[in-house]
Amino acid sequence: MRAYSLYLFRRLIQFVLVVFIGMNIAFAVTHSTPIDPVEQTISAATSFGSTSPDAIAKMRQSLRELYGLQGGPWQQYAAFWRRVVVGDFGPSLSAFPTPVSELISRALPWTAGLLTVSTLLSWTIGNLLGGLAGYYRESSLLRFAGILTMGLHPIPYYIVAFVLLIVFGFVWPVLPISGGSEMNLAQGFDVAFVGSVLVHSILPVASLVLVGLGGWFMGMRSLVSNIVSEDYVLYAELAGVDRRRILTSYVMRNALVPQVTGLAMSLGGIFNGAIITEQVFGYPGIGSLLVGAVHAGDYSLVLGVTAVSIVAVSAAVLLIDLLYPLLDPRVKVR
Amino acid sequence: MRLLRSIAIIATAWLLAAPAFAQGTISNLPRNQTLIVENPEGTIKNAGWFNIWAINAGGQSTGLHQLAMDTLWYIDPERGIDGVWENSLAAEKPQYNADFTEMTVKLRKGIYWSDGVEFSADDVVYTVETHLKTNGLRWSAPIQVNVAGVSAPDSSTVVFMLKKPNSRFHALFTVRWNAMWIMPKHVFEKAGDPLKFPFNPPVSLGAYTLHSFDPNGGWFIWQLRDDWQRTTVAKFGTPGPKYVAYIDPGPPDKRVIAQLNHQLDIIHDTSPEGMFTLAKQAKLSHGWFKGFPFAHPDPTLAAVIFNDELPLFKNRDVRWALALLIDMKQVSMASYRGAATISAIGVPPTGTYPDYYHVPLESWLENFELDTGKRKIKPYDPTVGKQIADMLRPSMGDQIPTDPAEIAKAFGRGWWRPDPQAAQELLEKAGFKKSGNQWMTPDGKPFTVRIAVEGEARPVMTRAGTMIAQEWRQFGIDASTVVAQGTLNDRRASGDFDAMISWSVETWGGHPDLSFFLDSWHSQFVAPPGQPQSARNWQRWSNPELDKIIEQTRKIDFDDPKGVELGKDYLKLVVQEMPTIPLMAYNVFTVMDETYWTGYPSAETAPYTDPVPNWGNTRYMMVKLKPRQ
C-alpha cells in the first residue's frame, strides 16, 4: 500500500507538471500569434460602415484599455496565472464581455455528448468485430467486415462526412444535415428536443464511427491473433472449453487491456472537440468555438478551450496510470 | 430474431417518413409564412447578446440590424423603392449651417418602440450622449471625435453641435450596410453600464421583434410586429413574411443543398460553381441577374493594392507596368469563372455609378495616353467586357446577353489592353533591367512581388491573385502569392505586404458622393511605415492633387453636383497614377428561391435594393416579398 501511495504521489506531481508546461506552451503560442484581437475587432466594426481614420485611432486606444491589453508580456503572464488558479479565464475578447467559462460551458455538452457516443460506439463495434475476426479467421462474413472497416479507415474524414451529407441530405434527403436540433425548439429534457437532438446527431456520429471503426478493429484483431496462439488458450481448447467462453473470458478479456488504455485516451481527447465534424455538419461545439477564437485572435478563449483539453487529456492518462496496477496484476508498482 | 425484425420494421417506417421530417426544419412555424435567410456571420458565439452598441459582443446580421434597428436615414446601394435617399426616423434631409459646424434634424412622429413607448428626440440625444461619455461602444470614437454637444429643442428636433466643420457628419446616421442605430432611452437608462447590458430580449424600432433564438447561435427567428404600421417601413406597404429566420447553413456546398431542398430561401453568397449548379438544377432559384453572371456586384472594388510606401512601388511607371501585364479576361475567368463585373477606374461598376462615372469617362479613357519613355500609347480597350461575354457564349449559350448595354451592365466595360512591350519600356524608364529571364530592380536585386491573398477564406480573390502572379512571373518578375488567411487584417493595417488582393474603395452605391471612402485617402491619415494604418487607404498613397480634391469635397454639400465633377477628377488622377490596380466589383452570389416567396430584387425588373441579405438596407425587401400563390 505504501508503494502505491508513493506511486500515486509521483503520478500526481507528474500530472501537475504536465498541465503547467502545457498551459505555458498554450500561453506562449497564443500570445505570439500575428493576429491582434483589437485589429480584428476594428476591422469587423469598420469594414462596412463609414468611420473616419481619426475615430479609428481613438477606437484602437479605447479597445486596448477595455480588453486589458495595455501591460507588457510579463504582466499579462502574471495576470493569466492569477486568473487560472481561480478557474477564471476572463472575458472573451471576441464576445466581450461574456466570460470564457460561460461560452465553454455552453458548447462543451454538445461536443462531449457527440464524441462520447461516437467514441464508445466505434470502440465497442470495432473491438467486437476485431475480436471475432481475429478468433474466427475462417469466417467469410467477418473477413468482409474487415475489408469494409479497413477500407473506410484510410479515407480522409471530410470525404466520408461529405459523402454522407450528399447521400442523406441531397440524393435521399432523409436526415437533417445542419445544427444540433430543429429550429424554434426550446432546449430542455423533453421528448421533442431530445428526439430532435438524436436525429440531428445521426450523420455526425455515423461519420465519426465509420472512420474510427477501422483503428479499433485492426488493433483488436492483431491482439487476438497473438493471444490465440498462447499456451493457455491452446490448453483451454484441448480441454474442451466452450469456444465462446474461450473467446470472451480467455482471449478478448486479455486483449482488452491496451484497448481500454486507448479508449481512456480517446475519451480524454473528447475535450479537444471535433473541428471538422462541427464545421461540416454545423454542429454546435467546442471545436467551432476554438476555430472562431483563433481567427479572431481571442487569446482568452483559445487559452480557455486549450486548458480544458490539457487538463482532460492529462487527467485521463493519470486515471489510467492509477487504475492499471489495481486492474491488472501483471502491472507492478515499483 | 423477433427483436431484429421489429428494429427493421421501425427503421424502414422511419426512413419512409423521414423525408417529410427532414424537410421541415422549423418546428411549429408555417413554412409558407417564414422566410429563411443565410446569416454570413455563421454561428454566433454569444447568441443571447443583442446590445448592438457594445462592440463585437454578439451578432449583427442575425436579423438584428436588418429588422429590429432603425436610424435617421438610409441610402440604397441600388435604386431604392422611392429613390436612393430615404428619410427613415428623420422627417427630412439633414440641415447644416453655413460652415458645417451644426446639423439640425427634424424627426418623424408616430413611430413606436415594440414595447409601446413612442420614439422621440430624447432617444437620439440619449444615444449620442451615452456614446460621448462611454469609451469602447461601437460608435463612441466617431461621436467623441465629432460632437461637441447635442440637444433637443422639442420632441421632434435634434441639434448636433460639431467640434469642427464636417459636411458629411450625417453619414454616421445613414445606413449603407449599417449606421449608428438609435438606442431606446427608456430601456438603457435603467440598465447600468451599457457595455455590460445584453439587451435581451431586444426592444425593437423596426417592423419585427425577436421570436426565438438558438442559445448556441445557429438561428434567430423574428416575428412581424402587430403594430408594424407604427414603424418607418410601413409607408412602403405590408411586410410579406410573418416570420424571418436568419440561420447558419454551413459551408457553400451545404447552402446549395439546403436551397435545392427548399430549406433556405436566400443564400447570402456561394461559390461560382454553386451558383451555376443552382441555375441548372433549381428552376425557381435566381440571382441578381436572371442569367449569367447572376451575382450582385457590391459597391466594393476588388483591386491589386500595392504598398505604395515601399520604394519598389513609389514610381507610378512600375505600377503601370504591372497593370499592363494583366490580362483581365484571364483574371475574370480564373476568379469568377467569367462572372465578374470589371472596372478600369477607381469606383465599382455597380448601383448608379456607371451612369455617374463609367459612361461619362468612357471617351476620356479611350483617349488617355501613357508615356512609356519611348512612345505614347492608348492603353484602354473598351471591348474587354464584350470579349469576356464572347468567350463565355459558346458554353453558356443564351444565358449571355447580346445587347451591348446589357453586356456592359453585367460584365463591365473596358479595361487595360495587355501590353508586355509597353510594360518593358515603362520598367526600363524606371531603371529596371532584365538579366536573362529575370527582371532586376534599379539597385540590382531581383524584382520580387509577393501578393497576399486570403486562401480558402476568400477563394475567388485568391484565384485572381494567383492568376495575376502567374502573368507577372511569365514576364520575368519573381511574383507569387502568400496566403494570409486570418492575418490579412493585421498585415494590411501594419503595412506588412508588397501587394494584396483586397479593396480600399467602398461607395454608397446609390449616391455618387465618394467621401465614404475617399476622405480617408487624405495624406493627413497616411501612417508612417510600421505604424498602424486606419481604414481605408491601405495602399498608404498620398498625393497633393488628391488632397486638394478631398479638401474641396469637404467644403461642399453632400448633394452638390460639383461632387460628381470632383469625383471624376479623382478618377482621372488615379488612372494617371495607378496607386492600386482596380479589377472588378466584389460580386456576391446571392441566390433567391421563389418556391415560397416572390418579389425579390433583381437587376432587370426590380432593382429596388441590394439583395445581399446581411445589409441593413435589405429591410426594404420584406415589404416587397409576397407569398407565392
pLDDT (tens digit per residue) in A151-163 = 888 899 989 999 9
Q: What is the pLDDT of residue B4?
A: 44
Confidence of residue B65 (pLDDT cuts 50, 70, 90): very high
Per-residue pLDDT, A332 = 65
Judged against a pLDDT cut of 80, whether residue B560 lies above it is answered with: yes
- pTM equals 0.91
Kindly state the cell numbers that stand for B96: 447644416
Distance of alpha carbon B593 from alpha carbon B476, whole angstroms = 48
Residue B598 has pLDDT above 90, yes or no: yes
- Mean of the pLDDT values across residues B523-541? 89
Which residues from chain B sit within 8 angstroms of residue A63, using beta carbons?
55, 136
> Which of B53, B145, B267, B497 is the best substitution to test chain A (most A C-beta atoms within 10 A)?
B145
Lowest mean pLDDT across A6-20, A71-85, A237-251, B530-544 = A71-85
pLDDT score for B143? 96
Query: What is the average pLDDT across B126-142?
Result: 95
CA distances for B507 relative to B177, B216, B408, B512, B536, angstroms: 11, 35, 19, 8, 12
Average pLDDT, chain B: 94
Cα B317 to chain centroid distance, Å, stands at 31
Say if residues B93 and B84 touch (Cβ distance below 8 Å): no
**pLDDT tops 60 at residue B24:** no
CB contact under 8 A, B489 and A57: no
From chain A, the residues in CB contact with B247 under 8 A are 178, 183
Q: Is the pLDDT of residue B2 over 60?
A: no
- At B412, phi and psi to the nearest 5? 90, 180
- Is A60's pLDDT higher than 90? no
pLDDT given for residue A44 in this prediction = 75
> For chains A and B, what is the number of CB pairs under 8 angstroms?
212
Mean pLDDT score, B389-410: 93
The interface predicted TM-score of the complex, written ipTM, equals 0.86
Q: Quick one: pLDDT band at residue A50, thresholds 50, 70, 90?
A: low
Window 336-375 of B: residues touching A by CB (8 A cutoff) are none
Which residues of chain B from 243 to 272 reach within 8 Å of chain A, CB to CB? 245, 247-251, 253-254, 257-258, 260-261
Residue B129: band (very low, low, confident or very high) from pLDDT cuts 50, 70, 90? very high
- Residue B109's pLDDT is 97
CA distances from A203 to A257, B16, B229 (A): 30, 17, 45
Q: Which has the closest alpha carbon to B132: B115, B149, B119?
A: B149
| B45 contact A CB<8A | yes
Chain B nearest-CA distance from A147, in A, is 25
**Does B56 sit within 8 Å of A96, measured CB to CB?**
yes
**pLDDT band per the 50, 70, 90 thresholds, residue B478:** very high
Measured CA to CA, the distance from residue A163 to residue A143 in angstroms comes to 24
Contact B124, B158 (CB under 8 A): yes
pLDDT of residue A3: 80
Which string of b and e fits B110-124 if b means at least 16 CB within 10 Å? ebbbbeeeebbbebb
Is the Cα dihedral A49, A52, A57, A63 positive or negative? negative
Q: What is the pLDDT of residue B25?
A: 62
Report pLDDT digits (tens) over B359-390.
999 999 999 999 999 999 999 999 999 999 99
What percent of chain B is predicted at pLDDT more than 70?
96
| Position B419, amino acid | D
- Counting residues of chain B whose pLDDT is more than 90, the rounded percentage is 89
- For A80, B32, B388, B567, the CA distances from B585, given in Å and listed in that order, are 45, 35, 15, 18
* Count helices and strands in chain A by DSSP H and E runs: 14, 0
Query: Amino acid letter at B319?
Result: R
Contact A39 B493 (CB under 8 A): yes
Verify whether the Cβ–Cβ distance B218 to A34 is below 8 Å: no
* A31 vs B392, more confident: B392
Reply yes or no on whether the pLDDT at B21 is more than 50.
no
Name the residue of chain A whose CA is nearest to B138's CA: A45
Inter-chain residue contact B214 with A179, CB threshold 8 Å:
yes
Question: From edge to edge, which strands make up the β-sheet containing B95-96?
Answer: B95-96, B102-106, B157-162, B147-154
Average pLDDT score over residue span A41-54? 74
Percent of chain A with pLDDT over 90: 40
| A112 grid coordinates | 462531449
Q: Do A106 and B216 touch (CB under 8 A)?
A: yes
Q: Do the Cβ atoms of B219 and A179 come within 8 Å?
A: yes
Nearest to A177 among B216, B254, B516 (CB): B254
What's the pLDDT band for B20 if we cut at 50, 70, 90?
very low
Per-residue pLDDT, B3: 47
pLDDT in tens, B263-319: 999 999 999 999 999 999 999 999 999 888 999 999 999 999 999 999 999 999 999
- Sorted by sequence, the CB contacts under 8 Å of residue B492 that are 6+ apart come out as B452, B500, B502, B533, B538
Nearest to A322 by CA among A261, A249, A248, A270: A261
pLDDT of residue A43: 78
Which range has the worst mean pLDDT, A96-110, B10-24, B45-59? B10-24
A39 and B532 in contact by Cβ < 8 A?
A: yes
Fold of B296-588: Dipeptide-binding Protein; domain 3 (3.10.105)
Q: Which range is least confidently modeled, A84-98, A192-206, B34-48, B592-606?
A: A84-98
Please answer yes or no on whether A50 and B171 come within 8 Å at the CB atom: yes
Class for the domain spanning A106-296: mainly alpha
Minimum-distance CB partner of B141 among A34, A58, A177: A58
Grade residue A79 by pLDDT with cuts at 50, 70 and 90: confident
With cut-offs at 50, 70 and 90, classify the pLDDT of residue B17. Answer: very low
Of B146, B249, B487, the CB nearest to A178: B249
Contact of A76 with A300, CB cutoff 8 Å: no
Q: First CA to last CA across chain A, in angstroms?
A: 11
CA distance A163 to chain B (A): 12
| Distance in Å, alpha carbon of B460 to nearest chain A alpha carbon | 19
Band of the pLDDT at A58, cuts 50, 70, 90?
confident
Across chain A, what does the average pLDDT equal? 87
User: What is the distance, to the nearest Å, from the Cα of residue A164 to the centroid of all Cα atoms in its chain?
Assistant: 21
B contacts of A36 (beta carbons < 8 Å): 490
Q: What is the pLDDT of residues A259-284, one digit of tens each?
A: 888 888 888 777 766 888 998 898 99
Can you give the pLDDT at residue B487? 85
Question: What pLDDT does B19 receive?
Answer: 45
Which of A192-206, A253-267, B156-170, B487-501 is predicted with the least confidence, judged by mean pLDDT?
A253-267
Nearest by CB to B195, from A97, A180, A288: name it. A97
Domain spans in chain A, listed from the N-terminal domain onward: 106-296
CB interface of B with A, residues 472-511, below 8 Å: 486-487, 489-491, 493, 506
Q: With 90 as the cut, is the pLDDT of residue B208 above it?
A: yes
User: Which of these ranges, A96-105, B469-478, B500-509, has the smallest mean pLDDT?
Assistant: A96-105
CB contact under 8 A, B25 and A170: no
Using the beta-carbon criterion (under 8 Å), do B215 and A187 form an inter-chain contact?
yes
pLDDT at A324: 77
Bigger pLDDT: A322 or B41? B41
Tens-digit pLDDT profile for residues B91-126: 999 999 999 999 999 999 999 999 999 999 999 999
Given a cut of 80, whether residue B14 has pLDDT beyond it is no
Domain residue extents for chain B: 296-588
pLDDT surpassing 80 at residue A26: yes
Q: What is the mean pLDDT of residues B584-592?
A: 96
Q: How many CB atoms lie within 10 A of CB B374?
A: 13
Q: What is the pLDDT of residues B535-552, one digit of tens each?
A: 889 999 999 999 999 999
Closest residue of chain B to A105, computed from CA coordinates: B216
Report yes or no: B219 at the A interface, CB cutoff 8 Å: yes
Arithmetic mean of pLDDT, A39-67: 78
Helix segments in A32-99, DSSP class H: 37-46, 53-66, 73-85
Is B535's CB within 8 Å of A56's CB? yes
Give the residue carrying C-alpha cell 443565410: B38
Tell how strand B415-416 and strand B591-593 pair up: unpaired
What pLDDT, on a 0 to 100 scale, did the predictor assign at position B457? 84
| B chain contacts of residue A66, beta-carbon cutoff 8 Å | 135-136, 195
What pLDDT does residue B137 have? Answer: 92
| Contact indicator for B476, B348 with CB cutoff of 8 Å | no
Check CB contact under 8 Å for A47 and B535.
Answer: yes
Q: Which residue of B has its CA nearest to A41?
A: B56
- The answer to whether B183 and B126 are in contact (CB under 8 A) is yes
Q: Do B141 and A59 touch (CB under 8 A)?
A: yes
Cα gap B289→B407, rounded to integer Å: 11
Instruction: Provide the pLDDT for residue B22.
Output: 45
